[in-house]
Structure 1
Amino acid sequence: MSDSQSTTPSRRATHFTAAFALSCALAFPGALAFPGAVAVAAPLDVPGGSTGYSAPGISASTPAPRLTSVDNFRDVAGPDGGYPAAFGLHVQPGVFYRSNALATSDADAAILDTLRLSAVYDLRTDSEVADKPDRVPAGAAYVRHPLLSGNLSAASDLKTPDDAREFMRGINRSFVTDPVVRAELGAMLNEFASTGGPQLFHCTEGKDRAGWTAAMLLSLVGVDRETVYTDYLLTNEYSAERVDATLAAAAEARGPEKAAVYAPMLGVEREFLEAGFDQLEADYGTVHNYLLTGLGLSPQTIAALSAKLVA
């Protein structure tokens, strides 16, 4: 279902205008000088109490399904009907999903089919895809945007858990510093904005590359930073059973000390994402400057993403 099928023309216009105002105000506080403009901290008055975007079969009371074979699958909007965004709005459920690799069981594949996804974006490298190919949901386009950079073989030389943590901080910094990664991210966000219907993006474990992408989407519409960190850390809850099993197997195969070295890389820690945000603020000042200058998004693209994300 496209956005044009879900709203009347007048409500679509109101929705886009609201989202454009939100994106401009977040990017340029105080820049909205037209009559009736509101401050960033004030709620945006949307006639009828809704922006009008409606994902098929999804409402704020419909939680994303929990999958057994893809344990880190979840709604970017959050687990409780949509995180609070700027202007008193909320992130709209059923629009963007994130996950680990889609190596789904038959039962989980059937569940994903019911979401009527329009596109699946795979953020993995060629070798990762070859190792665990996606089972693409019915009717969804499959799009590749590899996001890893740097000398990943260095992971084999890690000596301590702190080495592993610094490695993960470096991965998050690369989302800001690596021009190839920024180009892929920018291209994908442009596709997010121009593609109708619910969309899903994922990496291998659904935590770092997918985590950064989700953090950018949430930040784009003014979800507060603490909520973004809390959402990021949900990986440790969703994937706990798999992480524990992986650590146990590693300890048995290579010994407890070696397993402990790599343990930080199996989940997420707040400081990993903080490192990315710190780099972003050092290089670009704000998330919106990063989106505009670093990723090359236009104000119109940011407004279109906002229109999809908020309700």
Structure 2
Amino acid sequence: MSASYTRDRRRFGPIVATLLVAFAGMVLVDSDRAEAFDASQVAPDNAAIQWEGRSLGLEHAPNARDVGGYPTADGRWVRTGVAYRSGRLGGLTSEEWQVLRDRGVNQIIDLRNTEEKSEAPDNQPSDIAYQESDITGIPPGLDSAQLTDLLSTAHCLAPGTPVSLLTIGNATLAEGDPEDIFTAEGYLLEACYAGSLMAFRDAITTLADASTTVIFHCSAGKDRTGVLDAILLTILGVDRETVLDDFEASNAYRGAGSVQREWLEGWFQAVSLDWLSWDDFVRNGLGLSDATVAALRTRFLTDTDPLAPAGDPAPTPTATPTATPTPPTTMAGTGTTTTASPSAPSVLVGQSRRVLRVELAGRPARNLRIRLDGRRIATGVARRGTVVRIRLAKRLRPGRHVLRLRTNGTLIRVVFRVL
């Protein structure tokens, strides 16, 4: 186990040990291994991945690159020169900072934790703004109840949760590399932990600001940065395979083995299991408003292929439209209640049939007790305001189900049917 993990565990205590184990791998492999870019290593048939102008050519940040140039499912393209991704920036020379200025960069988003920033600060010039969006952090000022609620959202790593290493385990466990295993589990946690989702929301909100040209980064520019880039590109409508190819390109910029494609696939799987749909994840997980999503698309999307040679007609993109997810499982109504509450709670079942999202009427859920079909559910429950999200160990079978919730001293009974 790394020294940084040991220090973090001692500082935060056992209450967050589960989170720190999961995130440990994100700071274990930090070396900036400068490699000559070889596009043939990744997606040889994807011209956008192989675009030679993608790299910023920074010796001290070899993974610094443009996030644009990709086609989208609706026939447009992601603009180039709007946002860049990178590893840590503290080692840049004055000439390399000038390269960023020449590209219009005026905003940094730092995804690292407090210790990483302290050990290797960006030392950015005063004319470039700086924002902290700590993906692995715990927001300050929380009381014990708020901290408990926050940590309850880390249920992706609850003991016995089938999603833990479900997809990515075959790749990492076979190699027996514990650092890769920690890194892989960290990806899963970033699909549900509220602290991560709030940091991603803040970063996306800044990226949607038309006045900014952003470079966002973590330590190596591949894990937390890779997830944020995947969120951005998927919201913009880039197809899944291209998003995975873009993620895997870190192996070309930083050296073979820097990332495994299965890590990001595992993150997408965790999203699909924990949220009703991609739209539910964007709206209710990340908390992004329709206005922010619209501003992001206006900022980043163009009708002209940015990689086409000047004077050439722009071809129609051929991206497979996979950004729109399968709709949630259909239900016959939203249920009934036996109490005298003003309105019945609404219940939605996710496409995996392993996630329930319950919107409660009235006050936020406190002292919550849940039974489904007579069995008590004590794990895999996350609360946020009046919304309760329940992650089941097994898929719901088609047919009639009874959900009983006792909250705030009130018993609510909901009958619903999965078709």
Partners in 1 of 2:297 and 2:212 — Cα distance? 14
Q: How many angstroms does 1:197 deviate by?
A: 2.9
Q: Deviations over 1:202-245 (max 9, x none)?
A: 000000110000001110111111100100011111112xx7xx
Partners in 1 of 2:253 and 2:127 — Cα distance? 27
TM-score (norm. length: structure 2):
0.49
Partners in 1 of 2:273 and 2:112 — Cα distance? 27
Q: 2:74 aligns with which of 65, 87, 92?
A: 87
1:148 aligns with 2:136: yes
1:222 aligns with 2:209: no
Q: Report the counterpart of residue 136 of structure 1 in structure 2.
A: 124
- The aligned length equals 218
Question: Which structure 1 residue ranges, 5 or more long, are not aligned?
Answer: 1-59, 152-157, 244-263
Partners in 2 of 1:234 and 1:206 — Cα distance? 11
1:96 aligns with 2:87: no
**Does structure 1 retain, via aligned residues, the 8 Å contact 2:210–2:299?**
no
The residue type paired with residue 124 of structure 1 is R
In structure 1, the residue corresponding to 2:208 is in which secondary structure? helix
Q: 2:224 aligns with which of 170, 195, 209?
A: 209
Q: How many angstroms does 1:161 deviate by?
A: 2.9
Partners in 2 of 1:64 and 1:175 — Cα distance? 27
Q: Deviations over 1:104-155 (max 9, x none)?
A: 023212211212212100011111111111132562210111112689xxxx
The residue type paired with residue 120 of structure 1 is I
Structure 1 stretches (4+) deviating beyond 6 angstroms?
A: none
Q: 1:307 aligns with which of 298, 302, 311?
A: 298
The residue type paired with residue 128 of structure 2 is A
Question: Which structure 2 residue ranges, 5 or more long, are not aligned?
Answer: 1-50, 138-153, 158-172, 303-419
Q: How many angstroms does 1:285 deviate by?
A: 3.7
**Structure number having the greater strand percentage:** 2
Q: How many angstroms does 1:282 deviate by?
A: 0.7
Taking structure 1 as reference, are residues 193 and 165 closer, same or farther at Cα in structure 2, changes over 3 Å only?
A: same
Partners in 2 of 1:216 and 1:127 — Cα distance? 25
**Does structure 2 retain, via aligned residues, the 8 Å contact 1:117–1:139?**
no
Q: Report the counterpart of residue 168 of structure 1 in structure 2.
A: 183
**Does structure 2 retain, via aligned residues, the 8 Å contact 1:91–1:310?**
yes
1:288 aligns with 2:279: yes
**Does structure 1 retain, via aligned residues, the 8 Å contact 2:87–2:219?**
yes
Partners in 2 of 1:74 and 1:148 — Cα distance? 23
In structure 2, the residue corresponding to 1:194 is in which secondary structure? coil
Q: 1:196 aligns with which of 192, 211, 219?
A: 211
* Higher Cα radius of gyration: 2
Q: How many angstroms does 1:309 deviate by?
A: 1.5
Q: Report the counterpart of residue 265 of structure 2 in structure 1.
A: 274
Query: Which deviates more from structure 2 when the two are superposed, residues 282-291 or residues 138-147?
Result: 282-291
Partners in 1 of 2:214 and 2:96 — Cα distance? 17
Q: How many angstroms does 1:299 deviate by?
A: 0.8
Partners in 1 of 2:224 and 2:71 — Cα distance? 23
Q: Identity of counterpart residues, as a percentage?
A: 31
Partners in 1 of 2:74 and 2:207 — Cα distance? 23
**Does structure 2 retain, via aligned residues, the 8 Å contact 1:116–1:140?**
no
Q: Report the counterpart of residue 98 of structure 2 in structure 1.
A: 110
1:124 aligns with 2:112: yes
Partners in 2 of 1:171 and 1:89 — Cα distance? 33
In structure 2, the residue corresponding to 1:176 is in which secondary structure? coil
